[in-house]
Amino acid sequence: MAARDLQERIKKLIIDRRLPSGAPLPTEPELMEFLGASRNSVREALKALQAMGIVEIRHGFGTYVGPMSLAPMIEGLAFRTVAGHYRGEDSLLELLELREAVETGLVSRLAGRIPESGLAELDALVDRMEQEAERGAGLAETDRAFHAALYRGLGNPLLREVLEAFWDAFHRVRTDLADVPQDPLITCRQHRDIVRAVRSGDAIRAEAAIRDHFGNIRTRLSTTDPQLPHSCHNERV
């Protein structure tokens, strides 16, 4: 039996038995009998599924349903983007545009719908960003928290994971932006504009604020030549 067929049958077993993440799979001998396959074939299939995050092999304990996270997607996006970037392609811009398209489409749904408690949290995060900018500290983690808080109100866990995957992939790409100076106060202002637009309930204004935010980093990326991998700077947007 082909390795891909075994993988598909194990995945079907997980689905058919409604097994949640962390649930134990049948033992190796049981899988061999169920699949009608050799020990080596079963092991190879399980290793392949583990690489995808579908199963988790705990040596000495057994095999369990994996977390089914988007980690493999992040790895693939990050590798594809950095490899293309150092070949002189526009892969980093392409990934940024993908993230921009998703966030622009979502923010209009949030205009006028975020409760005051959520808006207060966003205001506090921008306040913190401004304090960090004044101290010359990095804005990365606060910036990430802002975007996570902004879309939390949509109540879609899968969407949240996808946005996190785009974020992680983009920011794991190491690229030198030293020749294109960034003013952190502009970054802070753009985030403040996003909050004001969402608070106003004006969907068009909210979309424009997101586009302005992404347009700033896109302009800087467009004027940056690919650098050698060892020359790096990790920037959040």
pLDDT digits (tens, 9 = 90+) for 184-202: 889 999 999 999 999 999 9
**pTM higher than the cut 0.85:** no
pLDDT one-digit tens code per residue, 66-109: 988 888 888 888 888 888 888 888 888 888 899 899 999 899 99
Q: Under 8 Å CB-to-CB from 234, ≥6 apart: which residues?
A: 140, 171, 174
Band of the pLDDT at 122, cuts 50, 70, 90?
very high
Quote the tokens at residue 25: 């799979």
Least reliable range by pLDDT among 99-113, 147-161, 177-191: 177-191
Residues 74/168, Cβ–Cβ less than 8 Å: yes
Percent of the chain with pLDDT over 70: 88
Query: Which of the 8 DSSP states describes residue 98?
Result: H
Cα–Cα dist 152/226, whole Å: 35
CA distance 209 to 193: 6
The whole-angstrom separation of Cα 169 and Cα 228 is 19
Q: Is the pLDDT of residue 176 over 70?
A: no
Alpha helices in 52-183 (DSSP H): 71-86, 91-110, 116-135, 140-152, 157-172
Tell me the C-alpha distance between 194 and 207, whole Å. 8
Nearest-angstrom CA–CA distance, 212 and 189: 11
More confident residue, 176 or 226: 226
Q: pLDDT class for 29, splitting at 50, 70, 90? A: very high
Mean pLDDT of 150-160: 86
| d(C-alpha 28, C-alpha 116), whole Å | 53
Give the strand pairing for 55-58 and 62-65: antiparallel
Place of tokens 């169920």: 34
With a cut of 50, say whether residue 180 has pLDDT above it.
no
